[in-house]
Amino acid sequence: MKQLLVISFLFSLSFQSLCFAEPAQVVKLDPLARFHPVIAEKGVTVSQEAIASQVGTDILAAGGNAVDAAVATGFALAVTLPRAGNIGGGGFMLVHLAEENKTIAIDYREMAPAAASRNMFLDAEGDVDRVKARHSVHSSGVPGTVAGMIYALENFGTMSLKQVMQPAIKLAHKGFPVSRSLASSLVRYSDYLGSDPASRNYFYRADGEFYQAGELLVQKDLAVTLKRISKQGRDGFYTGKTADLLIAQMRRNGGIISYEDLLNYKVVERQPVCGDYRSNRVCAMPPPSSGGVHLIQMLNILEGWDLNALGHNSAAYLHRLVESMRRAYADRSLHLGDPDFYAVPAEQLMDKRYAAQLRKQIDPGKSSRSKDIQPAPTKVINESTDIESTETTHYATWDRWGNVVSNTYTINFSYGSGISVAGAGFLLNNEMDDFSSKPGSANGYGLIGGEANAIQPGKRPLSSMTPTIVFEPQGEPIVATGSPGGSTIITVVLQMLLNVIDFDMGIAEAAAAPRIHHQWLPDTLRYERGISVDTLNILTEMGHSLGDKPVRLGVTQSIASDKNKIKYAASDPRREGAAAIPE
Ligand code: GLY
């Protein structure tokens, strides 16, 4: 423990130098933390980017609560993790308040502009114009992140916006050393980032070369925008200079987001969806995320088997996972959308009797074919009370008082649409592609949708983001987790929970264990390296169609707590640069 405190002290020293010296210093990471959880007696922050984790933990150490730290981390990631951290996108924040024993879901998902229309991405032949949907100013929904962060802070935080935004402003203004992961992703995405003049200016060197790891990335325009927000709050983004720059960007390129759309952006506080799994209560994001509903639906199906007895990642276990996933994603395609526009049958989908009915369809020795599985017709589900990338980033904060934040936010693809708002320094999302532009036509994650997720003015595109908090029977939070990964997010979070609850894994082991994914269509079982060839052969014999080669699924950031309120935090080893940092 003494050693951990020393590590924590060194981290806090490195952060002080990061904030107050010029230029910023690299946070030194404990390489063992990739395999062992970081242990915290007080608070802890875990995120996909070490400097931002340090920002959150510094706020905790300065007396802030988990929400203060989460907002500070969110703004810091907008600077240090431009591929997914953002002020030009949106997301979902789950907040557990210890004293009130209450959990809140904050929906700050992007909204379709008022001029958006159902067929806006269809070309003359009636096909989806993928470039328009994913890499144009039309790809962007009205951003919600700034409103969401401010809403969380004003309602559940204790610090001022200036206090929590100061580290992000400094990081943008003075620069921070480019990590290896950032340097290589800027090379990888240079095709579309480099084709937008503002993005080229912001993310590539003045001589046109790529940044090398260790060089400083300074973002002056972003610093000014962040400063405006810190001074003026919501108005610093949704009106005034920032709004002028965003609207000018739209008008130059025929985009449709208007001043009115910005003014009308609204954060929605929702009830999380919760379900009981074995003796635990699992709470996650409700629609317009599909994450919570289908996480609980799959857990309900799986609860009928003794998974531990089947053996972790055995063929018998993975077969049951796949068949549960297949059915949940089939239902997703028909029934999930923005609940303010479409009557999502969430209760019915999460009904244990409906899960029992689905479980009965699963042959323990034989794969079904996705073409034979259809989403339940609405009337069957309604009657069923008697039956029953991929980018995005997740982070979590847990304070010494037991308040917990589990937050997933995104600009959709890595670097969103690739288009930056010239003069304002931030990337625009391409979240409009998460709508179903044409029934039966797959989006960027291969997901199919229909009426429930059709484009409508003011509507929020269906998401898979699944920030989750698990509670033990007495109601104490025991796990906060989540992941990026587009359509794979829900199945990644599912396997995290099963690893911890059914297989007694510690949080770092649970994060590292190989995963699989199935989403009904395409009818392909995707798997990670580490699932044995013997197991894959048995799954093939059972009739499953395997992907050609292993893929990487998700990048979790998780915190667990034991009965003595000691926290164990772990960043997924699949992506470098992440860190869990104790107070
Ligand atoms: N943009 C990915 C998601 O929200 O699911």
CA atoms of 512 and 509, how far apart (whole Å): 5
Q: Indicate if ligand 1 lies below 6 Å from the C-beta of 392.
A: yes
Q: Indicate if ligand 1 lies below 6 Å from the C-beta of 463.
A: yes
Q: Which part of the chain is CATH 1.10.246.130? A: 273-391+464-574
The residue with greater pLDDT, 347 or 2, is: 347
CA atoms of 250 and 424, how far apart (whole Å): 13
Å from CA of 435 to ligand 1 middle? 10
Q: How large a percentage of the chain has pLDDT more than 90?
A: 88
Helix (H) or strand (E) holding 105: strand 102-108
Å from CA of 320 to ligand 1 middle? 25
- pLDDT-derived band of residue 270, with 50, 70 and 90 as boundaries? very high
Q: Assess whether 392 carries a catalytic annotation.
A: yes
392: phi then psi, degrees, rounded to nearest 5: 135, 160
Of the residues 108, 392, 411, 414, which should be mutated to test ligand 1's pocket, given the most ligand atoms within 8 Å of the CB? 392
Answer whether residue 34 shows pLDDT above 70: no
Per-residue pLDDT of 56-65, as tens digits, reads 999 999 999 9
Answer whether residue 25 shows pLDDT above 90: no
> Would you list the DSSP string of 370-435?
GGG--PPPHHHHHTGGG------EEEEEE-TTS-EEEEEEE-SSTTTTS-B-TTT--BPP-GGGGS
Q: Which residue, by CA, sits nearest to atom 2 of ligand 1? A: 486
Per-residue pLDDT of 140-164, as tens digits, reads 999 999 999 999 999 999 999 999 9
Q: Which residue, by CA, sits nearest to atom 4 of ligand 1? A: 463
Q: Indicate if ligand 1 lies below 6 Å from the C-beta of 495.
A: no
- pLDDT-derived band of residue 31, with 50, 70 and 90 as boundaries? low
Q: How confident is the model at residue 389, as a pLDDT?
A: 55
Structure tokens at 244: 């002028």
Q: How confident is the model at residue 204, as a pLDDT?
A: 97
| CATH class of the domain at 273-391+464-574 | mainly alpha
- pLDDT-derived band of residue 139, with 50, 70 and 90 as boundaries? very high
Average pLDDT, the chain: 92
Q: Which residue, by CA, sits nearest to atom 3 of ligand 1? A: 463
Å from CA of 61 to ligand 1 middle? 32
Longest dimension (CA), the chain: 67
User: How many other CB atoms are found less than 10 A from the CB of residue 389?
Assistant: 19
Contact call for residues 338 and 382 (beta carbons, < 8 A): no
357: phi then psi, degrees, rounded to nearest 5: -65, -45
- pLDDT-derived band of residue 78, with 50, 70 and 90 as boundaries? very high
Per-residue pLDDT of 527-580, as tens digits, reads 999 999 999 999 999 999 999 999 999 999 999 999 899 999 999 999 899 999
The residue with greater pLDDT, 273 or 1, is: 273
Å from CA of 433 to ligand 1 middle? 9
Answer whether residue 20 shows pLDDT above 70: no
Q: How large a percentage of the chain has pLDDT more than 70?
A: 92
Mean pLDDT check: name the lowest of 156-165, 176-185, 439-448, 520-529: 439-448
CA atoms of 261 and 64, how far apart (whole Å): 33
Q: How confident is the model at residue 331, as a pLDDT?
A: 96
Selecting among 73, 225, 392, 491, the annotated active-site residue is: 392
- pLDDT-derived band of residue 9, with 50, 70 and 90 as boundaries? very low
Å from CA of 205 to ligand 1 middle? 30
Percent helix, strand and coil across the chain, each to the nearest 5: 40, 15, 45
Average pLDDT rounded to a whole number, residues 434-440:
90
Per-residue pLDDT of 474-532, as tens digits, reads 999 999 999 999 999 999 999 999 999 999 999 999 999 999 999 999 999 999 999 99
Average pLDDT rounded to a whole number, residues 162-168:
98
Å from CA of 208 to ligand 1 middle? 31
Q: Indicate if ligand 1 lies below 6 Å from the C-beta of 393.
A: no
Q: How confident is the model at residue 464, as a pLDDT?
A: 97
> In ligand 1, which atom is closest to the CA atom of 389?
2
Contacts for 527 with CB less than 8 Å, ≥ 6 apart: 514, 515, 516, 517, 536, 546, 547, 550, 551
Q: What's the predicted TM-score (pTM) here?
A: 0.93
Q: How confident is the model at residue 377, as a pLDDT?
A: 74
Task: Count Cβ atoms within 10 A of the Cβ of residue 306 and give its class: 0-12 exposed, 13-18 middle, 19 or more buried.
Answer: exposed
Answer whether residue 214 shows pLDDT above 60: yes
Contact call for residues 567 and 37 (beta carbons, < 8 A): no
The residue with greater pLDDT, 389 or 575, is: 575
- pLDDT-derived band of residue 391, with 50, 70 and 90 as boundaries? confident
Average pLDDT rounded to a whole number, residues 81-86:
98
Q: How confident is the model at residue 22, as a pLDDT?
A: 43
> Would you list the DSSP string of 30-61?
-GGGGTSPEEESS-EEEESSHHHHHHHHHHHH
Of the residues 431, 435, 436, which should be mutated to test ligand 1's pocket, given the most ligand atoms within 8 Å of the CB? 431
Contact call for residues 468 and 494 (beta carbons, < 8 A): no
Contact call for residues 426 and 88 (beta carbons, < 8 A): yes
Q: Indicate if ligand 1 lies below 6 Å from the C-beta of 351.
A: no
Answer whether residue 304 shows pLDDT above 60: yes
